Amino acid sequence: MDFEYLFELLCGGVVKGSIYALIALGYTMVYGIIQLINFAHGEIYMVGAFVALIITGILTLSGYSDSGLSVLVLAAVIAVIYAAAYGYTLEKIAYRPLRNAPRLSPLISAIGASIFLMNYVQLVQTPDFLPFPELVPEFEFMEPLSRFVSSVDMVILVVTALTMVALTVLIKYTKIGKAMRATQQDMVMARLVGINVDRVISATFIIGSVLAAIAGVLIASRTGQINSAIGFMAGIKAFTAAVLGGIGNIPGAVLGAMVLGIAETFGAGYISSAYEDVFAFGLLVLILILRPAGLLGKAVKQKV
């Protein structure tokens, strides 16, 4: 058995899983609080990538010629702010008015918002693929590892890891994090201790959008091209990862994303890359048969 090849695939899978994880967290956090599948979440990821593309373009045109990495960071920061504003607005316009409507209504609104955002970007930008500049330099220290992880991959892994740590600290120790957990566990009681639930829901959308935008910028600099449809497949995959891990469960989303990423690269590497998506969704079906609540999900208790 070729262990180097196996390790190469494993690294590729973890990189892929990192991107899925960043997006999946937004699905799972929103679901955990308001039991809504935010179908437009993939589009926030796409918008993040586009904003970053526009910013790098502006920076290049205006003659800003610092290192590529600093351009990337600047573009990412602005993309994150934009995406946060999109996520916040999306919830306000598309979901909040339907908070007490039958469950199907916000779901349809979510699909509508997804289609709207995709077409909006298509209209004001272009439906074609646009090249995304290579901004991550080849790090010298990565030379010996270059067979397994490229410099871009390394950036993806480090950024994802730091983001996860920040998210964990936020949820565990900050006031808004505790309010989010309380709201997720018992919304009526959260209101009775004085939590402004509307604000918590807004915060959840903002945090999810920030994570998705980070993923969008990272993936754009890895693949080197983006278009208005990239949010669709990435969204479906990340949603799959969230369900795989147990929707509503935060560690579950990360685990599900890693399992999905690794399964895809192994399937592609050992069998055929043409069937990558088949492995992803086949895995989903398999896990849902064996563990209907997902890997870390608990069987849903019916409220009495």
Partner 1 sequence: MLEVRNIQTYYGNIQALKSVSLTINEGEIVTLIGANGAGKSTTLMSICGVTPPRHGQILFRGEPIQHLSAEQIVSQGIIQVPEGRHIFPQMSVIENLEMGAYLRNDRAGIKADIDDVFGRFPILEKRRNQAGGTLSGGEQQMLAISRALLARPSLLLLDEPSLGLAPLIIKQIFEIIKQINAESNTTVFLVEQNANQALKIAHRGYVMENGAITMEDRAENLLSNEEVKKAYLGM
Give the interface size with partner 1 as a residue count (CB under 8 A): 16
Residues numbered 258-277 forming contacts with partner 1, rule: CB under 8 A = none
- Quick one: 138 or 186, whose CB is closer to partner 1? 186
CB of 161 to partner 1, least distance (A): 25
What is 163-197 written as a DSSP string?
A: HHHHHHHHHHHSHHHHHHHHHHH-HHHHHHTT--H
Rounded distance, CA 295 to CA 304, Å?
25
State the angle between helix axes of 104-124 and 41-61 in degrees (0 to 180), rounded to the nearest 10: 20
C-alpha dihedral over 88, 90, 96, 102, to 10 degrees?
-140
CB of 194 to partner 1, least distance (A): 4
Instruction: Tell me how many degrees the CA angle 106-109-110 measures, rounded to the nearest 5.
Output: 85
Give which of 214, 211, 215 is closest to 203, Cα–Cα: 211
- Quick one: 189 or 278, whose CB is closer to partner 1? 189
CB of 304 to partner 1, least distance (A): 9
- Quick one: 195 or 218, whose CB is closer to partner 1? 195
- The token pair at 93 is 């316009």
- Quick one: 97 or 224, whose CB is closer to partner 1? 97
- Quick one: 158 or 189, whose CB is closer to partner 1? 189
- Quick one: 69 or 171, whose CB is closer to partner 1? 171
Residues numbered 118-177 forming contacts with partner 1, rule: CB under 8 A = 175
What Cα–Cα distance (Å) separates residue 166 from each residue in 20, 37, 162, 163, 181? 17, 24, 6, 5, 16
Binding-site string for partner 1 from residue 170 to residue 209, where x marks contact by CB under 8 A and - marks none: -----x--xx-xx--xx-xxxxxxxxx-------------
Return all residues near 142 (Cβ < 8 A) that are at least 6 apart: 149, 150, 151, 154
As to burial, measured by CB atoms within 10 angstroms (0-12 exposed, 13-18 middle, 19+ buried), residue 236 is: middle
CB of 88 to partner 1, least distance (A): 19
CB of 254 to partner 1, least distance (A): 18
Instruction: Tell me how many degrees the CA angle 239-115-215 measures, rounded to the nearest 5.
Output: 45
CB of 98 to partner 1, least distance (A): 15
CB of 225 to partner 1, least distance (A): 42
Binding-site string for partner 1 from residue 95 to residue 114, where x marks contact by CB under 8 A and - marks none: --------------------
- Quick one: 178 or 291, whose CB is closer to partner 1? 178
Residue type at position 212: A
Please give the residue ranges that form the binding site for partner 1 (CB under 8 A): 175, 178-179, 181-182, 185-186, 188-196
